[in-house]
Amino acid sequence: MRNTTDFEYENTIAQANRHVNPALETVFLITSPMLAAISSTIIREIHRFGGDVTQFVPFALPPPQS
């Protein structure tokens, strides 16, 4: 799963499957960070607090303002 939208969709299917067959177990796997999208808002927050965001942006950012 890549995000909460995926989770909500797959969880609904899992619940329906459980209704049809109570013995059925559903396993959810989270996407590797390398393959998942990341919000620009999260990148800005990481940068704002001095974190390294070089792997998320194609160019150098100025140092965060204090």
Q: Mind listing the pLDDT tens digit for each residue in 14-64? A: 999 999 999 999 999 988 877 777 888 999 999 999 999 888 887 766 777
Contact 2, 31 (CB under 8 A): yes
Global confidence as pTM: 0.53
CB count in 10 Å sphere of residue 36: 11
- DSSP code of 35? T
d(CA 19, CA 16): 5
